[in-house]
Structure 1
């Protein structure tokens, strides 16, 4: 599993200008089965996405995010080898 941590490099107003295409990109991640969960950081300084799959494919997909293309956010990609989950979340280990 991977944690994709986005940190805004530009203002929230600039992020809002690119939000619609970014959300279309997020939806593609869910449709492909790569994304498991996502949301905004509080306070709003970026976001977090939980993802699964091949690291190279994830890095390539992140490079296609409109936030990346337009310099709105930087991504940190952290791989996590889950050893334990709450009941009902065993699928995250795969």
Structure 2
């Protein structure tokens, strides 16, 4: 599982110009099952995305395709973690700790 933390690198007005394509990009990721939660940080200086998968390279490529990245208004910090414990609703995403 991955936590993708976005930090805006441009004024919020430039971010807002790319918000619609960013949301369309997110919607595709929700439909494909890669993203299970997302939202703005408070204060609004970026956002957070919770993504599922086992392939960090794939997640990095996905992040690089974000219109916020291609538009030059944010940077990503990607943290991979193993989630052996989840809420019951997220049980399909539970992972086994390595031996």
**Greater relative contact order, per chain length (Cα 8 Å cut-off, separation 6+):** 1
Q: Secondary structure of 2:89's partner? A: coil
Question: What is the aligned residue count?
Answer: 94
- 2:94 matches 1:93: yes
Gaps in structure 2 of 5+ consecutive residues:
none
Larger Rg: 2
RMSD between aligned alpha carbons? Answer: 1.2
Q: Secondary structure of 1:89's partner? A: helix
Correspondences of 1:1-94 after superposition (within 5 Å): 1-53=1-53, 54-94=55-95
- TM value normalised by structure 1: 0.92
Partners of 1:34 and 1:60 in 2: how far apart? 13
Gaps in structure 1 of 5+ consecutive residues:
none
- TM value normalised by structure 2: 0.88
Partners of 1:56 and 1:13 in 2: how far apart? 31
Partners of 1:18 and 1:41 in 2: how far apart? 17
Superimposed CA distance per residue, residues 37-81 of structure 1 (whole angstroms, 9 cap, x where no aligned partner): 000001101000000112111111111111011111100000011
